[in-house]
Amino acid sequence: MACGVLKRICGFPEDRKENKRRLVCSFPQDEEFAELLRSYKGNKICTSKYTWLSFLPKNLFEQLHRIANVYFLFICVLNFVPIVNAFQPEVAVLPLVIVLSVTAVTNLWEDYRRQRSDRQVNNLLCDVYDRKQHKYVDRRWADVCVGDLVWLCCNEIIPADMVLLHSSDPNGVCFIETANLDGETNLKQRQVVRDLPQQGSEFNPETFSSRLECENPNNNLRRFRGYMEHPNRTRVGLHSDNLLLRSCTVRNTETVVGIVVYAGHETKAMQNNSGPRYKRSKLERQLNVDVLWSVVILLLMCLTTAVGHGLWLNSLKDPIFLIPGDPPPALAGFYMFWTMIIVLQVLIPISLYVSIEIVKLCQIYFIQNDVDLYSERLDTGVQCRALNITEDLGQMQYVFSDKTGTLTENRMLFRRCTIAGTEYPHHENAHSQELYEEQAGGPEGGGVSHTLRSRSSHRSLSCRSLSCNRSSVSLNTLACDDDTQSHEDTHPTQGRGAFSSAMECLVVPDPLLQLKLGGLSAPLAPPLKQDAAELSHILDFFLALAVCNTVVVSSPTQPRHVVQLPVARTPLRSLEDMKLLLQKLSLPRFTLSPTSSTPPGQPGTTPPSLTRRLFTRGRAATYTPNTPPDTGLTPNTPTASTPGSLTPAQTRTPSPCPSPSPSPSCLRSPTTTTLAGACGSTVEPSAENYTSSDNDAVCDAAAGGKDEEDEEEQEEEDEEEEEEEEGTDEGEQLLYEAESPDEAALVQAARAYGFTLLGRSPEQLLVSLPGTGPLQVPLLHVLPFHSARKLMSVLVRHPLTGHVVLYTKGADNVVMDLARSNAAGGDNASHQSPMREQTQRHLDQYAREGLRTLCVAKRVLEEAEYEAWLKKHMLAETSIENREELLLDSAQRIENNLTLLGATGIMDRLQEEVPETIEALQKAGIKVWVLTGDKQETAINIACACRLLRPTDRLLTANCESKEACEALLAELTEEVRGCKDSSGVCEGAGGDSDGGVAWGFTLVIDGRTLDWALQAELEEAFLALTRRCRSVICCRSTPLQKSQVVRLIRDTLGVMTLAIGDGANDVSMIQVADVGIGISGQEGMQAVMSSDFAISRFKHLRKLLLVHGHWCYTRLANMILYFFYKNVMYVNLLFWYQFFCGFSGSVMTNSWVLIFFNLLFTSAPPLLYGILDKDVSSETLLSIPQIYKTGQDSQAYLPSTFWLSILDAFYQSLICFFIPYFAYADTDISVFSFGSPINSAALLIILLHQVIESHTLTLLHGLVLVGSAVFYYAFGLVFSVVCVTCNSPTNPLGIETRFMSEPLYYCVCALTTVLALLPRILVRALCNTIRPSDTVKAALLDRLHPQEYWTRVSRWQDSLHSCKVQTPRPRPPNLSINADPPHPTHCYPQASAVLT
């Protein structure tokens, strides 16, 4: 300031021991900060691993970490030892060089791509405050440093993790979209650091002189702890609400200024970048065992040779063919051992590992390209995030599924509610929902509302911003023309994470309830007194629904821009009436407190806003109720502040305008703002019922004004006029974006009764009550949902009474407990108790209907009580250590003594084809467990609906209070199951644990508490014993931790393959524990997807993913691996047999190039193709006969026995392949390498034809590759034998192939060898397939049939499987209704028609 050159220097003296980092921003007298500044990581990111210089050594070093490459290297080095070398060095080095260079090239290419994207990202520009020029200047991302002040405008991407210092928003909030980070597209609110003096005025970077201290960089996206110390030594806590994360996008806020705290690789986004997951599949584990066996075989063979060589040498006396100076026999034998390791190195299938990787990549390619797994709704297919466990999909034995969002749509529909003990069944509601479903044409067709949404979202993002990746490019569109729209119509998409589809959430009010509420809006006819008490309950109930949430409101035409309607245009006549009413009710807590005698809300008719003109080009038009930010903290101040109207205008002016010529927005805003006054309104004209025609109208209106400014203004004027005409808020179309679909459903429900949430700011809510205009509800605190509390609360100042009221909603059992605790001391305990019982009854009923239940409660706080609590809470909020725990404590302190208001029942529809999928999985021998946090009754109901629980099943319920009881119960249930099994006895043989078609399906239902006991070490075994006998298990009321515990227990103890599927953050731990984790990219953000191995969009896709792709991937890979083993053993043994005829001297009868190339080139492509394309059974058959899946579960394609049979066959074939030529050429003048020629040729034919025998499908590609390989071999041999005159000594091939291939004897030998070698395998295959065909073979045979016959056979097969089922019809539990669609006929095969046509 006083200095000529103002410099702001930020330092980070890091103190790792304290796990904190200090960031000091001060002025530059301190030179040491200049030093410190340099020591922090810049914002440059470098994800590439190599530079040109370091590539070779680094890459080599990395590659040599693989054991396979080390083996190669070892062989190479061995070959350079003269005494043991087997080949010429250049030949021996070749395999290593090829493998290493193939890997190196792919690495290099990947690295190049990374470098390119790094460069792109690093060169993005952003505005950074330059301390020399006193203004914001463009700077590359890479040059942004820690401590820099960065100025961003709307839709720009945040270059580094920054603490938000200033927002153009008068309330100091800004919205960010974290889609680039976690894929969630709903807006997240961020807040300026509290107590910063600059709020509401232009942010002056020169005067900012606070110090920051925060924790060290970590990867926890949702946690940030630190504090800011102002020059006057006051400290303000910093938390994740203050942090703008790198690669997120600023939305709805015109400009923000932040100070960089983490840059570059220290940002949370980068710290979270852990790359693809690496899991080792079961098959690979098996494979590694067998690789070890090959090593054993190799060692045995080498040992044989070594001993043989020693003995042979020992028996010789001075032979002329021995080179003098050889070591003594024992030592020579020892050397021979190593020589043979070089010679027989191919026995260890090194190329197998590379091949497996290639095959898996191709398998993933095919899975991702499966059009059946593509969801139009989300425009996404299956995403394979783990690259190397495709074959595990074919071996699953247990599937653990989440319920909500996985089995169900997770699109919540408000179904019914109970208030103050009275049930309102909402029959109309149910009816209209059914109607809607019919109209929408099935569950997939929620298209109307989605279309509406996606269209409108085009408009919203009309601000171009810099962006580095595709996702954001596509978001920032200037225009959407008609083409796009029509395209959108055919591909309706929905922004994820936003639950605002108006049509579905539409609630038809219950007539009785409406009648009662009518009393509220028509206070001239005051209801009876007892009704008044009830009415106040109802009022509170709906107010709670409307305010107790974190829903963000946006309007359809500007959905990305939060609507704020601080308008109270209606004269508050009715409000006064209502207060009058409340006073009449003479309930003590509703007396108006003197502090709030001034009615909140704006008196008088404010002119409609011109807010949207303020910022052309769709810049942020974020208006929140224009209250000074400190209103929320000082409850005594009236919330309305008319004079403040000019302040936000200044705030909105983008003062630090970077360009020398101010943009239109800069020019226009001051003038328009003054016109706009304090309040903006974006009330939109729209119809109450969103029929399609209305919808179009809205869309047309939306489409009209999307890019032309003038048009927009024109339209806005129209809208204003309409608003004037309507003069009511009833017809508003608002979109609610909630974090959970329940919230959106509840807000919609409240809205149906006139309790409309109109807008939200961090400090207050704007709610309109029936008969009143919009009311401002000061929002004191939000206590967000926590899985431990199972509650979510808001503290508000009641708009009518002015009391501090806590509204809570949460899991019914928790709320009921907390309400019960109130019973003793409450003033109206007598009233509460029967009501609680009533409510509990209703809750049980809801649960039986499969509805999700939530309880709503409230608590009125005394001012003093609140003050006391607030003090502690503030402490908790500002603390850095244990903030979460303290906050949890703080919340629990206030969330008690609740008064129960009522409960809601929300319906969650099943996803399509869920019952079929579960049935198919069960038939495939997969045990399906459902782990849910829902109530037991709800869970059972859903289980029934998705046919996890069949009418014939026996239901075992386990609910215990203590460990002992649990133990006893487990024993009892096990006994019961055993008893039933024994008595039924019909399917004893076929039954057992694994069979899905067992007569008595037992289903265990266990609740969270009992599960806790059962998971303890002592009861584990009993629990497992019981569950193994049950066909399925339903765990309800389970926590995320329990979910992962269950999965881990089953996986580790039973040693089975487990799959976990879920969609929400609560499933993440389970997904990570399971062998294969599947995320459903659904409504609850991307956390589950991010931690999963595969991401699908619907549960039904699991069926094809497992039954078809899993089966294929498994059999393909297993067969390919076996083939590799076979191939190597077969070929290498030829060399081994030769040792018996060359004095075990390590001699080979093959040209060394051919020897090396044989595996590397001549026979490498066919098995790859075999592993990629082979298809033993068609997908139709696999889907219609799920039982085939069991072959993969039992690892039938790759058992130790099959491995040894392959090896045995390889031994046999190599014997034939060696000894037929041997006897044919014995005692002739055949030379060493001529002898190898027919042997190699026959071996090639055998190996290729062997694959033809093993292949289940042979396409043109197979033919090309097989013939190509053979042709390549012969061409190579011929060319080599002509060209190579003196090369490749001593195995010079000159003239050998040409001479031999002109001899008929050569062909006679090859033909005989090939036929005799393959004879046993063909014979055994044919006999097995004829006499005892396996399921796969039978299915493959089915595939060949004529379609009509095919389907009759398939159904006959299905019938035969069920034939042994004892049909003991069990009456459905009397009070168990099923809320799903009527059961689909089992034997309709959707594929039938496809095949027939």
- The residues annotated with a catalytic role in the active site are 402
Residue count of the chain, please give it. Answer: 1397
The closest alpha carbon to 502, from 465, 438, 578, 449, belongs to: 449
983 burial (CB, 10 Å; 0-12 / 13-18 / 19+) is exposed
> What's the token pair of residue 1286?
């003196």
- Residues of span 991-1030 touching other proteins by CB under 8 A: none
Shortest spacing between CB 1092 and other proteins, in angstroms:
10
Q: DSSP state, 483?
A: H
Shortest spacing between CB 568 and other proteins, in angstroms:
34
Using rule CB under 8 A, residue 1326 touches other proteins: yes
809 annotated among ligand-binding-site residues: yes
> What's the token pair of residue 1077?
């984790």
Alpha helices (runs of H) in 522-571, residue ranges in sequence order: 529-547
How far, in Å, CA of 448 to CA of 508, rounded? 19
How far, in Å, CA of 19 to CA of 881, rounded? 11
- Residues of span 1120-1159 touching other proteins by CB under 8 A: 1141-1143, 1145-1147, 1149
The 354-373 site mask, x for binding other proteins (CB under 8 A), equals: ---x---x----x-xxxx--
Q: What is the 3-state secondary structure (H, E, C) of 770-803?
A: CCCCEEEEEEEEEEEEECCCCEEEEEEECCCCCC
730 contacts 684 by C-beta, under 8 angstroms: no
Among 1258, 1301, 1378, 1380, binds other proteins (CB under 8 A): 1258
What is the three-class DSSP state of 949?
coil
- Residues of span 1190-1229 touching other proteins by CB under 8 A: 1220, 1222-1229
Among 637, 984, 1292, 1391, binds other proteins (CB under 8 A): 1292
Select from 532-540, 550-558, 1018-1026, 1247-1255 the region that touches other proteins (CB under 8 A): 1247-1255
How far, in Å, CA of 869 to CA of 888, rounded? 13
785 annotated among ligand-binding-site residues: yes
Separation in Å, CA 673 to CA 226, 251, 609, 641:
36, 20, 9, 16
317 annotated among ligand-binding-site residues: no
Going by C-beta distance under 8 Å and a sequence separation of 6 or more, which residues neighbour residue 1226? none
Shortest spacing between CB 1327 and other proteins, in angstroms:
7
1063 annotated among ligand-binding-site residues: yes
Nearer to other proteins, 771 or 1166 (CB): 1166
Nearer to other proteins, 966 or 1309 (CB): 1309
Q: How many CA atoms lie within 13 A of 915 on its CB side?
A: 20
Using rule CB under 8 A, residue 1064 touches other proteins: no
Going by C-beta distance under 8 Å and a sequence separation of 6 or more, which residues neighbour residue 1346? none
User: Total number of residues binding other proteins (CB under 8 A)?
Assistant: 156
Crossing angle of the two packed helices 350-368 and 1165-1173, in degrees rounded to 10:
30
Select from 150-158, 1151-1159, 1248-1256, 1383-1391 the region that touches other proteins (CB under 8 A): 1248-1256
Select from 217-225, 455-463, 535-543, 679-687 the region that touches other proteins (CB under 8 A): 455-463
972 annotated among ligand-binding-site residues: no
Using rule CB under 8 A, residue 986 touches other proteins: no
Nearer to other proteins, 527 or 1192 (CB): 1192
Nearer to other proteins, 495 or 778 (CB): 495
Nearer to other proteins, 299 or 1252 (CB): 1252
Select from 436-444, 491-499, 864-872, 1206-1214 the region that touches other proteins (CB under 8 A): 491-499
Going by C-beta distance under 8 Å and a sequence separation of 6 or more, which residues neighbour residue 864? none
Shortest spacing between CB 1124 and other proteins, in angstroms:
18
- Residues of span 235-294 touching other proteins by CB under 8 A: 273-276
The 194-213 site mask, x for binding other proteins (CB under 8 A), equals: --------------------
The 77-116 site mask, x for binding other proteins (CB under 8 A), equals: ---------x----------------x--xx--xx-xx--
How far, in Å, CA of 1088 to CA of 1106, rounded? 19
933 annotated among ligand-binding-site residues: yes
125 contacts 431 by C-beta, under 8 angstroms: no
The 111-130 site mask, x for binding other proteins (CB under 8 A), equals: x-xx--xx------------
Shortest spacing between CB 362 and other proteins, in angstroms:
11
404 annotated among ligand-binding-site residues: yes
Angle formed at CA 99 by CA 97 and CA 103, multiple of 5 degrees: 110
The 30-69 site mask, x for binding other proteins (CB under 8 A), equals: -----------------x----------------------
Nearer to other proteins, 186 or 801 (CB): 186
How far, in Å, CA of 381 to CA of 368, rounded? 6
Separation in Å, CA 914 to CA 276, 946, 1098:
29, 6, 9
- Residues of span 302-341 touching other proteins by CB under 8 A: 316-326, 339
Shortest spacing between CB 835 and other proteins, in angstroms:
44
Nearer to other proteins, 783 or 1080 (CB): 1080
1266 contacts 1251 by C-beta, under 8 angstroms: yes
> What's the token pair of residue 587?
């309930």
Using rule CB under 8 A, residue 1360 touches other proteins: yes
808 contacts 792 by C-beta, under 8 angstroms: yes
The closest alpha carbon to 773, from 750, 748, 756, belongs to: 756
Among 531, 720, 884, 1335, binds other proteins (CB under 8 A): 1335
> What's the token pair of residue 1228?
């002739």
Separation in Å, CA 991 to CA 490, 1365, 1369:
48, 10, 19
- Radius of gyration (Cα) for the chain, nearest Å? 37
The 384-403 site mask, x for binding other proteins (CB under 8 A), equals: xx-x----------------
Shortest spacing between CB 1073 and other proteins, in angstroms:
20
Using rule CB under 8 A, residue 473 touches other proteins: yes
The closest alpha carbon to 1217, from 1096, 1145, 1312, 1356, belongs to: 1312
Nearer to other proteins, 517 or 1118 (CB): 1118
How far, in Å, CA of 475 to CA of 472, rounded? 5
Q: What is the 3-state secondary structure (H, E, C) of 409-434?
A: EEEEEEEEEEECCEEECCHHHHHHHH
- Residues of span 1172-1191 touching other proteins by CB under 8 A: 1173, 1175, 1179, 1187
Among 26, 78, 135, 183, binds other proteins (CB under 8 A): 183
What is the three-class DSSP state of 458?
helix
Binding-site positions read 402-404, 743, 785, 809, 852, 932-934, 1037, 1043, 1063, 1066-1067
Binding-site positions for Mg(2+) read 402, 404, 1063, 1067
Binding-site positions for ATP read 402-404, 743, 785, 809, 852, 932-934, 1037, 1043, 1066-1067
